[in-house]
Structure 1
């Protein structure tokens, strides 16, 4: 009904989106024009249920669901948008009581990790979300699209600590939000190879256990060596592959030699002339750390590749 001072117009039925042949009662409209009302004629949990309808959009009324609605009568729902609190009545315990309803707030944090130089997404990056007290709430690895998605608390700020082999680690702010998705673009700077007088130093070239095929991470590092050799067209490299001390001497020698040859073949496949790259496996004969009862960290240091500069 329209109201003009003391004058009232003709009441109009709100139509089938709200009304049924049964009873619709206790209307309440929020400041942002959402109508709440109770009905025992629409599909629900039983008795009177609370429904809501966005009058700005004119969509169908929807049941607000549990835990507001039960098999009993639930009615007279009101909501304060400023204080973000609702109150309603229910006879769920056999008598009419007033209940408080706190709104559910959902926020998704999407962290997308990219190479700061190329803009390409980075698969396999580690993304750790921590709250303001530095408590870890999520620890995930990015998928093929370079993304992770996780639920976080509303109106709470976080930081995303992002790391990936071959890149400088970074910390990125995840801003406070409410009922929306927060998108964070995490740009990682690639670590530039160190070129000394004797060698080109890369991040570790990883191989799968007992295998000699180049992994995706290993390929990313070797691509940096390709870039260096393209920058220095006269450079000639000798690749040395080493294993840790586990396994027999002869087995490790053969395994490291296969890995060295895989490294050489990868570089040749990227356009490096075969006269500029050669390699050999040295097994466990030249450990970086001489140890008898080696720790995992010491084994990892010995399990390495070296790229010596024969000619610069």
Structure 2
């Protein structure tokens, strides 16, 4: 039996002055075969392009395939060919070309592409990435009105600040001194040295009458801002440079503050030690733990600090050892002061700053922490909490939306006062991006598909995998634009952009993937693999045109890749001449196509062809 793969290339006429529309009518194959052929279309496109054939669609597919696979040098090559062929492309291609050029070191040309991208995509968030002149007062106003605030009921006429939750208690810092004898005062403030105090919390987070935190943690110098592990067995806290009766000083003879660690053993706090990144020459203060307790955040002016003080983080290993502190950098830290970090279980970081646009003094700000630890979307929490004075030490219970913060705003009892709040509206709108991944052709669900979420600047945020039902989901921010990239073996990588709604809820983004490999059986239409609908000939001629040669090159490549494959070529005409003439013309065109393939190395016994004239019209016109 002869094995023929049907190449249903509809061969019709093309006119210089007037063209006739043709509809593709694929003849049914009358032979069935028992083997499959797998064709990687992308590889074929590349081989065809390397021979000098040019097609915008082909260049886009080539460049995108390499770009999505992070082969940016090859992507730059084919994006370059694309723009050389037509410099007017959709805005997205300017951005991708620029990113690819950067990877090759051609920053000058990359900047040119970015300039063009900015011009052509004025509503794209990436084009606004470095926009600076926002009216921050309008932002603060929009974020205001979200809190019910009241005095916490535990304040004194002295400084009270820096709260933390600990076993249904509120532990805080206070300069009140309940001692009966020696009442030590700090020369800089005129107040007593601070110690830790505690109050029991009722079911509504109301603290009762405070009492001193009975522990060796309190000393004759300052203690402040503790944070406890969930099991209640470890605490990190701030204290003057004082341990085991010895006071440390820097080169200017000033005693700074450090972070200390203590453990709870035999019903008491002890084993007080410095953390290893402390120093006599700089401050470390105000520790905060991540929800998984694997990261410690803190404020410091250690070497490498951008401003007066920056927020850092350091990893905590399972054995209790610490990594190397890392400056959070922009967009958190500025040339001003960033301090009093707090991280909740919703991947939000709160901190105080006088470097970000605010109302005056320290304002409380919030940011979103991504899975990779990067922080974005820094926002002022609003004028309810913030004032023209110092506002800081914000903590919140995410389930009840109740919390505490400290301020020296007007109307308080002491120099710093603790306020209780109920957050009535979230700062960040909560949205979930979800969808199902399917096969474009069959609608079959595609489990185990890798999905990657990118922000509007195409910086990777996180990845996930579709479940057994093809479903995926990402937590996202309201009103923001994202790109989702879906990758699966034997499927073409697809990237889809989406803008999230500006209200709480869910945004649906189904993704249908197209197979990257063409699967054809004996008797199938090979042309479908490459989207070849027609090969045109000039009126009354049978010569192979340049446009047709590009498509034939694709078929030639496939035949070279699969030496056992055989081809049946069928040619048709319209009905504007005699039946005999049309039959002869179509036969010449079929033979011309066969001769082109033979000339390019295909054995004649692998090719068959016939002209059908007007007997099988593809335009359904017999007049």
TM bracket (short chain) = 0.3 to 0.5
Q: Which has the higher contact order (CA 8 A, sep 6+)?
A: 2
Q: Which of the two has greater helix per residue? A: 2
**Rg larger in structure:** 2
Using structure 2 for the length normalisation, give the TM-score: 0.26
